[in-house]
Structure 1
Amino acid sequence: MYAVTGGRTAPRGGLAVEALVSSATSMRLGMTYTREYRAISELCRQVRSVAEVSALLRVPLGVARVLIADMESEGLVRVYQPQLEAGVPDKSLLERVLSGLRRL
C-alpha cells in the first residue's frame, strides 16, 4: 500500500471518514488507472462512505482516504463532506448512527 499512496498516510485536504463518495463517471475506468482506482470507481456507483470503501476493499482507512482524495482531485469521484456547524456534527446524524449501531 505504501507504493499505491506514494508513502502518504493522510489526504492532502480534509476528508472525513463519514464523507459520502460517488463515482463521477458512468464509464468503467480503463487500464490506464490503477487497480485500486478502478475498484473504488466500481464500488462508488452506489453512494458509499469513505469507511465503507475502506472496509469493502480491505485496505487501511488512511489508504482509502488518500486514494479517494486523489481521485476527487482528478474528477473521478464526487465527495460529499458532512456539514458541520461550528465544528460540531449534526445531532440528527449522530442519532441515526446510534440507532443503526443499536440495530446491529
Structure 2
Amino acid sequence: MSPRLEDENPDRLYMVTGGRSDATDDGLDLVTLIVSECDPTPGMQSEHARILRLCVSPMAVVEVAAELRLPVGVARILLRDLLDMGRITARNPRPVPAAARLPEPEMLKQVLVGLQKL
C-alpha cells in the first residue's frame, strides 16, 4: 500500500526539491499538459525519471502530482527542473474562443420565449 500524502516525510520533500519551496511563477498551472521529450537516463533523480515515464502521453500537472503522491507545489518544482533541461514540453490549454462561449442569459430568455410561442 502506498503511503498517504499526510504521511510524507517533510525531510524527503526537502531533499526531492533541493530545498526549493516556491513554484508560483513557473507558468505551470494545474491543467498544463506535460509531455516527455526523452527517456530517463541512468543516475537521474527517481522522481524525474518517473515523470518522464508517466508523461509519454500528455498528462496534466495535477495528474502528475497525484501519480507521484506529492504536493502539487513539489511536483511543479520537479516539472520546472525537467522543463529547464528540455526533457519535457509544457502545453498550456488554449483559451475558449469567444464564439464557443455560452450566450448571454438575456438571449437565452428570448429564445425560450420564442420557443414557447411555437
- Residue 32 of structure 1: aligned partner: 43
Q: Deviations over 1:70-93 (max 9, x none)?
A: 100101100012345xxxxx386x
Q: What TM-score comes out, normalization by structure 2 length?
A: 0.65
Q: Deviations over 1:18-70 (max 9, x none)?
A: 10000012xx3122210001000000001100000000110111010010011
Contact 1:22 1:46 in 2 (8 A): yes
Query: Larger Rg: 1 or 2?
Result: 2
Residue among 13, 17, 28 paired with 1:15? 28
Runs of 4+ in 1 over 3 A off after TM superposition: none
Structure 1 CA distance, aligned partners of 2:33 and 2:50? Answer: 16
Flag structure 2 segments of 5+ consecutive residues without an equivalent. 1-12, 101-118
Amino acid at match of 1:24: E
Amino acid at match of 2:16: V
1:41 counterpart = 2:48:
no
Amino acid at match of 1:52: E
- Residue 76 of structure 2: aligned partner: 65
Identity %: 34
Please state whether the residue corresponding to 1:53 is helix, strand or coil: helix
Flag structure 1 segments of 5+ consecutive residues without an equivalent. 85-89, 93-104
Please state whether the residue corresponding to 1:31 is helix, strand or coil: coil
Contact 1:16 1:82 in 2 (8 A): no
Q: What TM-score comes out, normalization by structure 1 length?
A: 0.73
Cα RMSD (Å): 1.7
How many corresponding residue pairs?
85
